[in-house]
Structure 1
Amino acid sequence: MTTANDTTFTPAALQHLIKTGQAPRLLDVRTPGEFQTSHIPGACNVPLDTLREHRMELGRHLDENVVLVCRSGARATQAEEALADAGLPNLRVLDGGMMAWEASGAPAIRGPQRWELERQVRLIAGSVVLVSGVVGFFVPGVHLIGTAIGAGLTFAALSNTCAMGMMLSKLPYNRGPRTDIHTVITSLRDRS
């Protein structure tokens, strides 16, 4: 089995396991809206916030044969840390997330298309910076709004978190159907 390191699976390694009938449990930790847009067949959607909140309960229904999936790997790594705190060490993260999965040509279930959170963040942040820069020519001090957005984006990169992304994920457009933890646990029990 080819992995990028001890805690990640490459898309090719995961595809191989799925094709040979040895598929691990796949937990997709993106928002329900992102999950609806595109996900790996057989994946179970457990948004990161829900996973953190119910990690002990989820941990009782999981073993180490789990691969965590998100858009690029960052949220899946955070989910791995949360589940490790719940007593599940040695979980795996899909290296490069859904971006790498889809880039490798692997199968995905597609639903209604919507903009990814990262793209939405770039639109909002860029628009605020642009507008505050233009208005700053006429109203002194408004340019500082763009400076604050730049500081927030810098912090987001350094901390690997994004407050704007978290806020945008709460919008109805991004939420999709609400994740019911009892349905998730029933699904996990059924797949064991």
Structure 2
Amino acid sequence: MEDITIEELKERMDNNEALYIIDVREEHEFDEFNIGAQLIPLGELPERLDEIEADKDAEIIVHCRSGARSGRAKEYLSSEGYSNVRNLIGGMLAWQAAGY
């Protein structure tokens, strides 16, 4: 699945779409700033797959600080059979730089 831009995500959030978003940053990063996603740090993802409440074919958006860790999360989730994982391009750095 194609990755998602901050503009598309912001628009969909503003439209109150039901989105499933996972933040793969560390807890201290999440505590500093977050967009209300479910926190599952990248290093804990393999042990916490059972906490993902989305079907394997449902859209799942993953994000981190810059897009690198969430890119790895996307690869991992795809390898576990999740077929519709989208990485937020630029992550929270781009989100905050845009003033969202």
Structure 1 and Structure 2 fold alike (TM over 0.5): yes
Q: Which residue of 2 aligns with 1:48?
A: 42
Structure 1 runs of 4+ off > 4 angstroms? Answer: none
Q: Which residue of 2 aligns with 1:97?
A: 91
Would the aligned equivalents of 1:35 and 1:45 in 2 still touch at CA under 8 Å?
yes
Looking at structure 2, the residues matched to 77 and 7 of structure 1 have their Cα atoms a distance apart, in angstroms, of 12
1:23 is displaced (CA, Å) by 4.1
1:75 aligns with 2:69: yes
Matched AA of 1:27: I
Q: Which residue of 2 aligns with 1:86?
A: 80
> What SS does the aligned partner of 2:99 have?
coil
Matched AA of 1:51: L
Would the aligned equivalents of 2:67 and 2:90 in 1 still touch at CA under 8 Å?
yes
Q: Which is richer in helix? A: 1
Looking at structure 1, the residues matched to 98 and 28 of structure 2 have their Cα atoms a distance apart, in angstroms, of 22
1:98 is displaced (CA, Å) by 0.3
**Counterparts of residues 9-48 of structure 1 (less than 5 Å):** 9-40=4-35, 42-48=36-42
Looking at structure 2, the residues matched to 10 and 73 of structure 1 have their Cα atoms a distance apart, in angstroms, of 11
> What SS does the aligned partner of 1:54 have?
helix
1:43 is displaced (CA, Å) by 1.0
In our comparison, the structure showing a higher alpha carbon Rg is 1
Looking at structure 2, the residues matched to 77 and 23 of structure 1 have their Cα atoms a distance apart, in angstroms, of 22
1:62 aligns with 2:54: yes
Looking at structure 2, the residues matched to 26 and 37 of structure 1 have their Cα atoms a distance apart, in angstroms, of 18
1:91 is displaced (CA, Å) by 0.6
Q: Any unmatched runs of 5+ in structure 1?
A: 1-5, 107-192
TM-score normalised per structure 2: 0.88
Looking at structure 2, the residues matched to 54 and 45 of structure 1 have their Cα atoms a distance apart, in angstroms, of 11
Q: Any unmatched runs of 5+ in structure 2?
A: none
RMSD: 1.4
Looking at structure 2, the residues matched to 104 and 35 of structure 1 have their Cα atoms a distance apart, in angstroms, of 18
1:89 is displaced (CA, Å) by 1.6
1:58 is displaced (CA, Å) by 3.8
Aligned CA distance change for structure 1 residues 36 and 70 (closer, same or farther; 3 Å): same
> What SS does the aligned partner of 2:73 have?
helix
TM-score normalised per structure 1: 0.48
Q: Which residue of 1 aligns with 2:3?
A: 8
